[in-house]
Each structure stands twice: as structure tokens, then as C-alpha cells.
Structure 1
Amino acid sequence: MEIKIENLYRTYLQNETKVEACKGISLKIPSNKIYGIIGKSGAGKSTLVRLISLLEKCDSGEVYFDDKRVDNLSKKDLIDQHRRMGMIFQNFNLLSSRTAAKNIAYPMEICGVPKAKINERVKELLDLVGLSDRADAPISTLSGGQKQRIAIARALANKPDVLFCDEATSALDPQTTRSILELIRNIQKKMNLTVVMITHQMEVVRDACDEVAVLNNGEVVEIGKVSDVFANPKSEVTKDFLNHLSSNASEKNNGEGIVRWSKAGGEYTLHFVGDKTGSPVISSVCKKFDIELNIRAGGIETLSDNQKVGTMIIDIDGEASEVEKALDYIKSQGVNVEITGGSR
């Protein structure tokens, strides 16, 4: 299901202060993809997902699902539409009085699905999330990762067209986060779902998303394919997210990640994409020009589509003309050059 939002506005009163949570946001979320919406605290991302998922009404603007306007539905039609959407949250929102299986069954019970079909669907979903042996487990006995798996299964119970994930991995440790993101990727491919992931973690965008929108202060400041945003970030907010990501050296525990061994300097940041990550560009530039090059940080990260993006933070010393020639040469090799002007 394709989602299109046009010129969404939402304003709150907080302690008698006007807060503009969404300021004319427009996005197109493609069908059968994992779409990331990232922003820092207060950027407006949680408000935006509530508007897109029709949990709140916008002050103005329009929301379309597959070219059908849905922000102005009647109460009955809105209930029907909600049943075609799944949602998972940071705090799981599971019913502690029910077992794992009965939590998954709950949305189907509300919809009046026959008991035999409920039991069949619950078994299918428990297998899908890898918890077929935990059907009768009380929620209190499950780990955080297991709880989120049950929450995912529950969100999929009524076979939704779209799955919304609001900070779904924020409460989990890095290893569990990776396993949950892998599960969501596998489910998305199997079920041809549109998945919208709200997050403040660039690791989530890197490991799961196909495209991303970056929010700041209620506005979209950058949008594009994840590989393009990683290789050539435009906004200062995006660069700051990537800087933070770079500081988590080898976070994926597979030898990848950006490692910084010097906090000083770092005037230029180079971004290598795809086969450029294996090209001897740095060796060549040092041979061709009268410069000295100091590498402050470097590494390679693999995105969810297996695209590789390399990052290198460097200083270049030499006559201004030689430095300029060296930078022009690096750019001519298909490497994006960003002037960072010092410590990242």
C-alpha cells in the first residue's frame, strides 16, 4: 500500500504554549518498502506517525492510502481502516493478564474471527516470529526481545496492509535490536508489507530501511534512498546523526563500523559508495600530488540492501593549489567530499 501525505499541520497547546509539531509535511511512502522517519526528540516524528496511522486528526492537510483519501473517513470506515493497519511500540503494550498466544489472538477476537481460524493464525504467527514453544508463557516470563516478537505477531494478526513501528527497538539492547530488525525485514518480504519505522536511531535506518525522511522541528529537512543519504548527507541534522553513528565503532560486531583513532582534526569527510569502497583512491592521490594526508577515521558500513558505504575522515596538508587539485581528483573518482572543518 502506497501512502501519500500532503501538507500536514498539527499544533498543540502545551502549558499554554503553542507547539507546532508538524509544519506542512508532505511525503510519499512507497508500497512494499521499509520507510524510515528519523528525528531527534521533539522533531515531530511520533506526532507524524499518529497522523499517518489515523490515530489523530490533523489540523489541515490530507492523507491518502493507494490514492484513497482516509483522513476524513466516517467513524465506521475509520474502524475498518484501522483493522488493516498493524502497530508496534517501544513499550510493547501487551496484556499482562494474557499468555503470549492469547495476546496474539486478542485483535482477532475483537473482529469476531471464528475460534478455529484464530488458533490456526496464532500458531502460524508464533512460528513466524520464532516463538512456537512459548504460546502458553505468561508475558512476565518473556524477555524484552520475546515481548517485541509477540507484539509484532499481534500487529500482524489481521493481515494488515501496513505496519507502523514507533521506536520499536529503543528499549532493546543492540544484539536484540539487530534480530528484531532482521525479523521485520523478513516479514516485510514474505508479506509484501509497507513498513513505516519511526526512530531516533540511525542504526535502525541503516540496517532496515530502503528510504528515509529526516525531520527537524516539525519539518522534513532531507529525504531519499538510504544509500544516497549516507553517501551524501545534505542537512546538518543528518550529518549529526551520521557523526553519532560513526562514533559507535564496530557496533555491528562483524568487523564493520567507523573507527576513529584521533579526535583532533578531520577537515574533510569522504564518502565511498559501492565498488568505490575498494578503490585505491587515497594511495593514488598521494602519488599524484604534493600533499600529506592524515587519516583520522575510517570504515565501511553495509546497508539493508547490502550496498556498502565507506567513510573516511582526513586532513590534507600542502600548498592550497595542490590541496585543491587533490580534492578535485578525489571527486573525479566518484567519491563525495564534505568539508567538515575540524573535529566531528
Structure 2
Amino acid sequence: MEIKIANLGRSYVQDDKTVEAVKDVSIEIPSNTIYGIIGKSGAGKSTLVRLISLLEKPDSGEIYYDRKRVDNLSKKDLILQHRRIGMIFQNFNLFYSRTAAKNIAYPLEICHVAEKDIKKRVKELLELVGLADRADAPISTLSGGQKQRVAIARALANNPDILFCDEATSALDPQTTRSILELIRNIQKKMNLTVVMITHQMEVVRDACEYVSVLNNGSVVETGTVKEIFSNPKSEVTKDFLSHLTSNEEEESGKFVRWSDNGGKYIMRFVGDKTGEPVISDVSKKFDVEINILAGGIQRLREQDDVGTLVVDITGSESEVSRALEYVKEKGVIVELADGNDSKVHSDSATSSALN
């Protein structure tokens, strides 16, 4: 299901002051994709997801599901629409008085589905999330990852068109997070779902999403494919997210490292095939410059081109350095100028943190 939000706004009164949680936000989320919305604490993510999922009404703007406006539905139609939406939360929101199977059965019970059909559907979902042998387990006996798997199964009980994940992996350790993201990716493909992931973790965007919007102070500051955002970030907040990004699982052995805390005047980003080309070697041969690599590594994007990053110093005459940089850019490498004193990176007029 395609989602479109246009000029969405939502304000609250807090301590006698009006707080604009969401400011004139417009986003188009393609059908059958995993779309990330990332922002720091207080950026407006939770409010935005409550609006898009129809849990709250916006003060202004419009929301469309498959070109049908849904923010102005009647109470009856809103209830029916909610049944086509799945929600996963950070803290699971499970009933501890119920077993795993009974938690999954709950949304089917309130829809008055026949008991035999409930049992069949619950069995299917337990198998789907890898918990076929934990049907009768009390929730208190499950690990965090298992609880989230139950929550995912429950969210899928009524065969929704949209799955919202509100910080769904924030309470999990890195290894469990990767397994949950893999499960969501597999489910999305199998069920042709539109998945919207709300997160403050750039690793989640990298490992799961196809598109992303970056939220800051209630507004969208940047949007695009994950490849576009990783290879050529525009906003300061996006660059700050990227500067604190941890390695992929396969890179944890040390393939992405910084071996010197001093220097680093330039940041170079290599996309796709460029990550395997000897651009740096060519520069050293063609121009009278010396290149000192201070940090480097590759971020592997899901089903997209890899993005390699190098933090370097280039020494030589001003003219030779300039010619060398132009050559690198002609080869399709994105170059950002960094300030070596405070590790802040400048791309044209924008600023970001250098790779740590």
C-alpha cells in the first residue's frame, strides 16, 4: 500500500507553551517497500508515526493510503482501517497474563474470528517468526528477541497492508537486532507489505530500509534512497548520524577503523564499483602529492551498492592538490573538506562530523 502525507502538522501545549512536534511534513512512501524515518530524541518521530498510523489526528495536512484520504474517516471506517494496520513497539506491549499463542490470538478474538481459524492462523504465525515450539510459553519466560517475535506475529494476525515499527529494535542487543531486522525483511517480501520503520539508529536504516527520511525538530531535512543518503548526505544531522555509525556484522573484525586521531583534512566517499578501483594509487602516480589515509571502511547497504569512506590528508603544492582533487571527483568520488582541528566536515556550504 502506498502512503502519502501532505503538509502534516501537529502541535501540543506543554507547560503553557505551544510545541510544534510535526511541522509541515510531506512524505511519499512507495508500496511494498521498507521505509525508514530517522531522527534523534525529540525530533518528532513518535508523533509522526502516530499520525501516519491514524492513532492521532493531525492539526493540518492530509494522509492518503493508496490515494484514498484516511485522516478524516468516520469512527466506524477508522476502526476498519486500523484492522489493516500492524504495529510493533519498542517495549513489545504484550499481555504477560497470556501465553505467546494467546497474545497472537488477541486481535483475532476481538474481530470475532472463529476459534478454529484463530488456532490455524496462530500456528502459521508462530512458524513464520520461528517460535513454533513456544506457543504455550508464558511471556515472562521469553527472551527480548522472542518477545519481539511474538509482537511481530501479533501485528500480522489480521493480514495488514502496512506494518509500523516504532523503535522496534531499540531494546535489543546488536545480534538480536540483526535477526529481527532479517525477519522483518523476509516477512515484507513474503507478504508484500509496506513497512515503515521509526528509529534513531542509522544501522537499522542501513541494514533494513530502501528509502529514508531524516527528521529534525519536527521537519524533514532530507529524503532519498538509502544509497543516496549514505553516499552524499546533505544535512548536518544526517552527516552526524553517519559519523557515529557502527560497522556491519561482517566488518566487526576491524575492517572499518580509524588508526589516527590526528589530521584528516578530506573525506572521500566511493560508491558501488568505485570501492574497488585504485583511485588513490592513481592519484599518487599522476600528481606530485602524498596521501595519508587515516581511517577507512565500507558500509554494505542491503541489496544496494556499497559505500566506502576514507579520511585522508593530501600534501603537496596548492595547485597539485587542487588538480588531484579534481581528478578524484572526475572518477566519481564524492569529496568533502574537513577541518582537522574539530573533526567537522564541510561539503560545499554544509557541515558534518568526520568519521570517528
**TM-score relative to the length of structure 2:** 0.94
* Corresponding position of 1:318: 316
Q: Pick the aligned partner of 2:298 from 297, 300, 314.
A: 300
Please give the alpha-carbon distance, in whole angstroms, between the structure 2 residues aligned to 1:96 and 1:271: 48
Shift of 1:254: 5.5
Q: Is the 8 A contact 1:269 1:339 kept in 2?
A: yes
Letter in 2 for 1:120: K
Please give the alpha-carbon distance, in whole angstroms, between the structure 2 residues aligned to 1:265 and 1:15: 46
* Corresponding position of 2:209: 209
Mapping 1:191-210, distance limit 5 Å: 191-210=191-210
* Corresponding position of 2:350: none
Shift of 1:263: 1.7
Mapping 1:209-248, distance limit 5 Å: 209-245=209-245, 248=246
* Corresponding position of 1:140: 140
Shift of 1:265: 1.6
Please give the alpha-carbon distance, in whole angstroms, between the structure 2 residues aligned to 1:301 and 1:337: 17
CA deviations 1:151-193 (Å, max 9, x no partner) are: 0000000000000000000000000000000000000000000
Letter in 1 for 2:262: A
* Corresponding position of 1:130: 130
Q: Is the 8 A contact 2:227 2:304 kept in 1?
A: no
* Count of residue correspondences: 342
Shift of 1:255: 4.6
Q: Structure 1 residues 261 and 250 mapped into 2: Cα distance closer, same or farther (>3 Å)?
A: farther
* Corresponding position of 1:289: 287
Please give the alpha-carbon distance, in whole angstroms, between the structure 2 residues aligned to 1:257 and 1:296: 13
Q: SS at the partner of 1:340?
A: strand
Shift of 1:340: 2.4
Letter in 2 for 1:109: E
Letter in 1 for 2:59: D
Please give the alpha-carbon distance, in whole angstroms, between the structure 2 residues aligned to 1:322 and 1:253: 35
* Corresponding position of 2:9: 9
CA deviations 1:192-211 (Å, max 9, x no partner) are: 00000000000000000000
* Corresponding position of 2:349: none
Shift of 1:17: 1.9
- Alignment RMSD: 1.2
Mapping 1:1-344, distance limit 5 Å: 1-245=1-245, 248-249=246-247, 252-253=250-251, 255=253, 258-342=256-340, 343=343, 344=354
Please give the alpha-carbon distance, in whole angstroms, between the structure 1 residues aligned to 2:203 and 2:239: 14
Please give the alpha-carbon distance, in whole angstroms, between the structure 1 residues aligned to 2:38 and 2:254: 22
Please give the alpha-carbon distance, in whole angstroms, between the structure 2 residues aligned to 1:217 and 1:251: 31
Greater shift after overlay, 58-67 or 331-340?
Answer: 331-340
Letter in 1 for 2:85: M
Q: Is the 8 A contact 2:248 2:299 kept in 1?
A: no
Shift of 1:268: 1.2
Unaligned runs of 5+ in 2: 344-353
CA deviations 1:230-276 (Å, max 9, x no partner) are: 0000101000000000xx35655555763111122222111111111
Letter in 1 for 2:325: L
Q: Is the 8 A contact 1:249 1:259 kept in 2?
A: no
Please give the alpha-carbon distance, in whole angstroms, between the structure 1 residues aligned to 2:105 and 2:248: 40
Q: Is the 8 A contact 2:23 2:219 kept in 1?
A: yes
